[in-house]
């Protein structure tokens, strides 16, 4: 039994690593093709914010695709240490398993970033997706901005994942969310919101300027998001996952309806049992 559980856990963590690598390959490729000044679309007369909007949307949709892949469905598709931290604070995952998820995410991110280096000169203009704060921006300001964008991410996905009627749609919010966030914030910090996403290109390109910003900022943002959700809503996530099958959601609704129908009968049965017990005691 223990060996089976260990193999299952390792398989889940392996799936998380693959899903994170897919996110990196798809997302960073979008950045290189759409935004890079040395990329194939550099000659198009398109406003910078519009390029970022498209690239951010494609990056988010890469997260959607990774989440809905067979690997994302198996692992629950955290794809981000900040999301795993939020689940740990919510109590839906153990410290040991959360640590395994973070190791899987960072491993997958480095592997994915290594694949993206194959774009060669096209990626040089954006350092193959490496994130660094804007020149002149103080490190604490950059960390604050990363906390802000991570807060938006974690608050939104946890709020959706906590509601059975809409949680199957959670992966689909990534595209619109990142289209807006990247269009507005990317010139300042790169809109990472994901320590693994920043670590992968940092390792591959050896770009380490203010690297702590991309760990501390997202961690603070995730913690604040959980705290705010506890203040403003009674809904809580029940599992450490962001991807749910609609069939499973429908089954849960059916089970809830059946329980609701059975509850009055169970109550009457308990009442009759209590009355019968009292009569027997009187005799």
Which of 281, 271, 229, 260 shows the shortest CA–CA distance to 90? 229
- The arithmetic mean of pLDDT across residues 49-60, rounded, is 97
Q: Which of the listed CATH numbers 1.10.3720.10, 3.10.150.10, 3.40.50.970, 1.20.1080.10 matches domain 2-244?
A: 1.20.1080.10
Residue 281 is predicted with a pLDDT of 52
Q: With a cut of 80, say whether residue 213 has pLDDT above it.
A: yes
- Each domain of the chain, given as residue ranges in start order, spans 2-244, 247-283
- Using a pLDDT cut of 90, give the percent of the chain over it: 81
- Read off the pLDDT band of 140 (50, 70, 90): very high
Residue 217 is predicted with a pLDDT of 98
- Read off the pLDDT band of 260 (50, 70, 90): low
Q: Write out pLDDT tens, residues 97-137.
A: 999 999 999 999 999 999 999 999 999 999 999 999 999 99
d(CA 12, CA 17): 9
Identify whether the C-beta of residue 66 lies closer than 8 Å to the C-beta of residue 23: yes
Which of 246, 245, 244, 239 shows the shortest CA–CA distance to 84? 239
């Amino acid at each position: 039994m223990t060996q089976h559980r260990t193999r299952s856990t390792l398989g889940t963590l392996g799936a998380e690593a693959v899903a994170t690598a897919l996110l990196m390959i798809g997302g960073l490729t979008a950045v290189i093709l759409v935004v890079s000044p040395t990329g194939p679309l550099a000659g198009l007369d398109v406003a910078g914010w519009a390029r970022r909007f498209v690239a951010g949307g494609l990056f988010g949709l890469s997260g959607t695709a990774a989440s809905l892949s067979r690997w994302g469905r198996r692992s629950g598709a955290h794809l981000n240490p900040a999301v795993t931290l939020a689940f740990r604070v919510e109590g839906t995952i153990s410290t040991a398993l959360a640590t395994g998820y973070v190791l899987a995410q960072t491993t997958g991110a480095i592997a994915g970033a290594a694949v993206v280096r194959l774009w060669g000169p096209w990626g040089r203009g954006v350092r193959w997706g490496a994130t660094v704060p804007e020149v002149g921006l103080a490190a604490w300001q950059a960390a604050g901005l990363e906390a802000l964008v991570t807060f938006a991410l974690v608050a939104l996905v946890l709020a959706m994942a906590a509601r059975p009627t809409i949680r199957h749609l959670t992966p689909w919010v990534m595209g619109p969310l990142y289209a807006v966030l990247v269009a507005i914030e990317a010139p300042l910090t790169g809109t990472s919101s994901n320590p693994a996403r920043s670590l992968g290109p940092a390792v591959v390109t050896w770009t380490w300027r203010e690297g702590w910003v991309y760990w501390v900022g997202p961690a603070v943002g995730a913690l604040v998001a959980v705290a705010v959700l506890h203040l403003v809503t009674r809904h809580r996530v029940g599992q450490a996952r962001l991807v749910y099958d609609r069939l499973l959601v429908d089954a849960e609704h059916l089970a809830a309806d059946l329980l609701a129908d059975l509850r009055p009968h169970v109550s009457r049965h308990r009442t009759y049992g209590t009355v019968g017990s009292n009569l027997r005691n009187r005799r």
